[in-house]
Amino acid sequence: MAMSFDSVFFILILGAMVAGFVQGLSGFAFGMVSMSFWAWVLEPQLVIAMTVFGGLTGQLLAVTTVRRALNLPLLLPFLIGGLIGIPIGVAILPYLNVSLLKTILGCLLIVWCPIMLLKDRLPPFKLRSRLADSIVGGLGGIMGGLGGFAGALPTLWCMLSSFDKNTQRAVIQNFNLSILAATMVSYIATGVVTRSMLPMFAVVAVAMLIPTLIGARLYKGIDELTFRRIVLGLLTFSGVALLVSVWI
Protein backbone atom coordinates (compact mmCIF):
# COMPACT_ATOMS: atom_id res chain seq x y z
CA MET A 1 0.00 0.00 0.00
CA ALA A 2 1.40 3.36 -1.03
CA MET A 3 2.18 5.80 1.75
CA SER A 4 0.93 9.38 1.77
CA PHE A 5 3.27 12.27 1.06
CA ASP A 6 3.00 13.40 4.70
CA SER A 7 4.04 9.95 5.94
CA VAL A 8 7.02 9.83 3.60
CA PHE A 9 8.06 13.34 4.63
CA PHE A 10 7.78 12.41 8.31
CA ILE A 11 9.98 9.31 7.85
CA LEU A 12 12.50 11.37 5.86
CA ILE A 13 12.82 13.90 8.69
CA LEU A 14 12.80 11.29 11.47
CA GLY A 15 15.51 9.27 9.76
CA ALA A 16 17.68 12.37 9.32
CA MET A 17 17.24 13.38 12.96
CA VAL A 18 18.01 9.95 14.43
CA ALA A 19 20.92 9.33 12.07
CA GLY A 20 22.33 12.80 12.70
CA PHE A 21 22.24 12.29 16.46
CA VAL A 22 23.90 8.87 16.22
CA GLN A 23 26.62 10.20 13.94
CA GLY A 24 27.23 13.20 16.18
CA LEU A 25 27.57 10.89 19.15
CA SER A 26 29.64 8.14 17.58
CA GLY A 27 31.41 9.80 14.62
CA PHE A 28 29.94 7.42 12.03
CA ALA A 29 26.83 5.40 11.07
CA PHE A 30 24.65 8.06 9.41
CA GLY A 31 24.16 5.91 6.32
CA MET A 32 23.27 2.73 8.17
CA VAL A 33 20.78 4.42 10.50
CA SER A 34 19.15 6.65 7.88
CA MET A 35 18.77 3.83 5.37
CA SER A 36 16.95 1.73 7.97
CA PHE A 37 14.25 4.45 7.85
CA TRP A 38 14.42 5.66 4.26
CA ALA A 39 14.74 2.34 2.45
CA TRP A 40 11.12 1.57 3.31
CA VAL A 41 9.61 4.56 1.51
CA LEU A 42 12.06 6.17 -0.95
CA GLU A 43 13.60 5.22 -4.29
CA PRO A 44 16.97 3.41 -3.95
CA GLN A 45 19.00 5.99 -5.92
CA LEU A 46 17.59 8.83 -3.83
CA VAL A 47 18.25 6.96 -0.57
CA ILE A 48 21.85 6.25 -1.51
CA ALA A 49 22.53 9.84 -2.59
CA MET A 50 20.96 11.24 0.58
CA THR A 51 22.87 8.92 2.90
CA VAL A 52 26.14 10.15 1.41
CA PHE A 53 25.02 13.77 1.57
CA GLY A 54 23.75 13.44 5.15
CA GLY A 55 26.86 11.62 6.31
CA LEU A 56 29.09 14.28 4.76
CA THR A 57 27.01 17.09 6.29
CA GLY A 58 27.20 15.46 9.71
CA GLN A 59 30.96 15.07 9.49
CA LEU A 60 31.37 18.72 8.56
CA LEU A 61 29.25 19.72 11.57
CA ALA A 62 31.08 17.52 14.05
CA VAL A 63 34.66 17.48 12.75
CA THR A 64 35.84 20.26 15.08
CA THR A 65 35.24 17.99 18.08
CA VAL A 66 38.30 15.87 17.14
CA ARG A 67 40.47 18.39 15.31
CA ARG A 68 43.24 18.36 17.93
CA ALA A 69 43.30 14.55 18.07
CA LEU A 70 44.11 14.09 14.38
CA ASN A 71 47.01 11.70 13.82
CA LEU A 72 47.82 11.96 10.11
CA PRO A 73 50.39 9.09 9.98
CA LEU A 74 47.80 6.78 11.54
CA LEU A 75 44.99 8.02 9.29
CA LEU A 76 46.91 8.00 6.00
CA PRO A 77 46.90 4.22 5.25
CA PHE A 78 43.14 4.09 5.83
CA LEU A 79 42.68 7.12 3.61
CA ILE A 80 44.81 5.84 0.73
CA GLY A 81 42.95 2.52 0.71
CA GLY A 82 39.60 4.29 0.93
CA LEU A 83 40.27 6.56 -2.02
CA ILE A 84 41.23 3.53 -4.11
CA GLY A 85 38.06 1.73 -3.05
CA ILE A 86 35.57 4.50 -3.88
CA PRO A 87 35.63 4.06 -7.71
CA ILE A 88 35.03 0.34 -7.26
CA GLY A 89 31.94 0.98 -5.15
CA VAL A 90 30.65 3.64 -7.54
CA ALA A 91 31.15 1.26 -10.50
CA ILE A 92 29.17 -1.50 -8.76
CA LEU A 93 26.35 0.81 -7.68
CA PRO A 94 24.28 0.87 -10.94
CA TYR A 95 24.09 -2.93 -10.95
CA LEU A 96 23.15 -3.36 -7.29
CA ASN A 97 19.69 -4.71 -6.47
CA VAL A 98 18.04 -2.81 -3.60
CA SER A 99 16.86 -6.00 -1.88
CA LEU A 100 20.39 -7.34 -2.04
CA LEU A 101 21.72 -4.10 -0.58
CA LYS A 102 19.21 -4.29 2.28
CA THR A 103 20.16 -7.90 2.95
CA ILE A 104 23.89 -7.19 2.94
CA LEU A 105 23.51 -4.16 5.19
CA GLY A 106 21.09 -5.90 7.55
CA CYS A 107 23.37 -8.92 7.94
CA LEU A 108 26.36 -6.62 8.46
CA LEU A 109 24.58 -4.78 11.26
CA ILE A 110 23.26 -7.79 13.15
CA VAL A 111 26.63 -9.55 12.99
CA TRP A 112 29.01 -6.62 13.36
CA CYS A 113 27.29 -4.73 16.19
CA PRO A 114 27.15 -7.60 18.72
CA ILE A 115 30.81 -8.34 17.95
CA MET A 116 31.69 -4.75 18.86
CA LEU A 117 29.67 -5.06 22.07
CA LEU A 118 31.73 -8.13 22.98
CA LYS A 119 34.98 -6.38 22.09
CA ASP A 120 36.27 -6.27 25.67
CA ARG A 121 35.89 -10.05 25.95
CA LEU A 122 37.81 -10.82 22.79
CA PRO A 123 41.48 -11.81 22.92
CA PRO A 124 44.08 -9.10 22.11
CA PHE A 125 44.28 -8.37 18.38
CA LYS A 126 47.84 -8.56 17.02
CA LEU A 127 47.46 -8.42 13.23
CA ARG A 128 47.25 -4.65 12.73
CA SER A 129 49.74 -3.11 10.27
CA ARG A 130 49.83 -0.26 7.78
CA LEU A 131 49.00 -2.71 4.97
CA ALA A 132 46.07 -4.13 6.92
CA ASP A 133 44.87 -0.59 7.68
CA SER A 134 44.98 0.18 3.95
CA ILE A 135 42.99 -2.94 3.07
CA VAL A 136 40.35 -2.13 5.66
CA GLY A 137 40.26 1.45 4.38
CA GLY A 138 39.81 0.10 0.84
CA LEU A 139 36.82 -1.98 1.93
CA GLY A 140 35.43 1.11 3.65
CA GLY A 141 35.89 3.07 0.42
CA ILE A 142 33.96 0.45 -1.54
CA MET A 143 31.13 0.56 1.01
CA GLY A 144 31.24 4.35 0.86
CA GLY A 145 30.88 4.29 -2.90
CA LEU A 146 27.91 1.95 -2.55
CA GLY A 147 25.98 4.38 -0.39
CA GLY A 148 27.84 6.13 2.41
CA PHE A 149 28.66 3.14 4.63
CA ALA A 150 32.37 3.90 4.77
CA GLY A 151 32.78 3.82 8.55
CA ALA A 152 31.46 0.36 9.46
CA LEU A 153 34.46 -1.88 8.79
CA PRO A 154 37.14 0.68 9.78
CA THR A 155 35.32 1.28 13.08
CA LEU A 156 35.25 -2.43 13.88
CA TRP A 157 38.92 -2.65 12.95
CA CYS A 158 39.84 0.25 15.23
CA MET A 159 37.92 -1.28 18.12
CA LEU A 160 39.56 -4.66 17.62
CA SER A 161 42.92 -2.86 17.50
CA SER A 162 42.15 -1.35 20.95
CA PHE A 163 42.42 2.28 19.89
CA ASP A 164 41.42 4.56 22.73
CA LYS A 165 38.14 6.44 22.42
CA ASN A 166 39.56 9.72 21.12
CA THR A 167 42.03 8.09 18.72
CA GLN A 168 39.28 5.94 17.23
CA ARG A 169 36.98 8.94 16.90
CA ALA A 170 39.69 10.96 15.16
CA VAL A 171 40.53 8.22 12.67
CA ILE A 172 36.95 7.30 11.81
CA GLN A 173 35.54 10.80 11.65
CA ASN A 174 38.33 12.19 9.47
CA PHE A 175 38.32 9.04 7.31
CA ASN A 176 34.57 9.35 6.80
CA LEU A 177 34.79 13.05 6.04
CA SER A 178 37.37 12.46 3.30
CA ILE A 179 35.72 9.38 1.81
CA LEU A 180 32.21 10.84 1.80
CA ALA A 181 33.44 14.06 0.20
CA ALA A 182 35.16 12.10 -2.57
CA THR A 183 32.09 9.87 -2.98
CA MET A 184 29.79 12.87 -3.33
CA VAL A 185 32.05 14.32 -6.03
CA SER A 186 31.93 10.95 -7.82
CA TYR A 187 28.13 10.82 -7.55
CA ILE A 188 27.80 14.30 -9.02
CA ALA A 189 30.22 13.48 -11.83
CA THR A 190 28.46 10.23 -12.75
CA GLY A 191 24.91 11.55 -12.52
CA VAL A 192 23.84 9.66 -9.38
CA VAL A 193 22.98 13.04 -7.84
CA THR A 194 20.47 15.06 -9.87
CA ARG A 195 19.00 18.53 -9.47
CA SER A 196 15.64 17.07 -8.52
CA MET A 197 17.23 15.72 -5.33
CA LEU A 198 18.34 19.12 -4.05
CA PRO A 199 15.11 19.97 -2.17
CA MET A 200 15.35 16.65 -0.33
CA PHE A 201 18.98 17.38 0.50
CA ALA A 202 17.90 20.70 2.02
CA VAL A 203 15.28 18.97 4.19
CA VAL A 204 17.84 16.44 5.41
CA ALA A 205 20.41 19.14 6.23
CA VAL A 206 17.93 21.17 8.29
CA ALA A 207 16.46 18.14 10.07
CA MET A 208 19.82 16.72 11.15
CA LEU A 209 21.48 19.99 12.18
CA ILE A 210 20.49 20.23 15.85
CA PRO A 211 20.50 16.45 16.58
CA THR A 212 24.03 16.16 15.18
CA LEU A 213 25.33 19.01 17.31
CA ILE A 214 23.61 17.58 20.40
CA GLY A 215 25.18 14.17 19.74
CA ALA A 216 28.63 15.69 19.26
CA ARG A 217 28.28 17.61 22.53
CA LEU A 218 27.15 14.53 24.46
CA TYR A 219 30.11 12.56 23.12
CA LYS A 220 32.51 14.48 25.34
CA GLY A 221 30.73 13.64 28.59
CA ILE A 222 28.92 10.34 28.11
CA ASP A 223 30.33 7.11 29.52
CA GLU A 224 32.00 5.13 26.74
CA LEU A 225 30.32 1.82 27.56
CA THR A 226 26.87 3.41 27.79
CA PHE A 227 27.08 5.24 24.48
CA ARG A 228 28.46 2.12 22.78
CA ARG A 229 25.53 0.05 24.01
CA ILE A 230 22.97 2.64 22.95
CA VAL A 231 24.39 3.15 19.47
CA LEU A 232 25.10 -0.50 18.75
CA GLY A 233 21.72 -1.54 20.10
CA LEU A 234 20.03 0.91 17.74
CA LEU A 235 22.10 -0.28 14.80
CA THR A 236 21.35 -3.94 15.55
CA PHE A 237 17.63 -3.15 15.60
CA SER A 238 18.04 -1.28 12.32
CA GLY A 239 19.64 -4.35 10.75
CA VAL A 240 16.74 -6.54 11.83
CA ALA A 241 14.27 -4.00 10.42
CA LEU A 242 16.06 -4.00 7.05
CA LEU A 243 15.96 -7.79 6.81
CA VAL A 244 12.28 -7.83 7.73
CA SER A 245 11.59 -5.25 5.00
CA VAL A 246 13.09 -7.65 2.45
CA TRP A 247 11.05 -10.64 3.64
CA ILE A 248 7.61 -9.00 3.87
String of DSSP letters for 168-198: HHHHHHHHHHHHHHHHHHHHHHHTSS-GGGH
**Average of per-residue pLDDT values in the chain:** 83
pLDDT in tens, 100-142: 777 877 887 788 778 777 765 656 566 778 999 999 999 999 9
pLDDT in tens, 44-60: 888 889 999 999 998 88
| C-alpha atoms less than 13 angstroms from C-alpha of 164 in its C-beta half-sphere | 5
> Does residue 2 lie within any of the structural domains?
no
Contact status, residue 42 vs residue 102, Cβ threshold 8 Å: no
> Does residue 131 lie within any of the structural domains?
yes
Average pLDDT rounded to a whole number, residues 163-192: 87
> Does residue 1 lie within any of the structural domains?
no
Q: How many CB atoms lie within 10 A of CB 185?
A: 12
> Does residue 121 lie within any of the structural domains?
yes
> Does residue 192 lie within any of the structural domains?
yes
Based on the structure, what is the number of domains in the chain? 1
Report d(CA 34, CA 48) in Å as an integer.
10
> Does residue 164 lie within any of the structural domains?
yes
Enumerate residues 6+ apart whose C-beta is below 8 A from 200.
12, 46, 50
Q: Is the pLDDT of residue 66 over 60?
A: no
DSSP state at residue 19: H
Confidence of residue 1 (pLDDT cuts 50, 70, 90): very low
Strands (E), the chain: none
Confidence of residue 181 (pLDDT cuts 50, 70, 90): very high
> Does residue 213 lie within any of the structural domains?
yes
Domain range enclosing 83? 7-247
> Does residue 217 lie within any of the structural domains?
yes
pTM (2 d.p.): 0.80
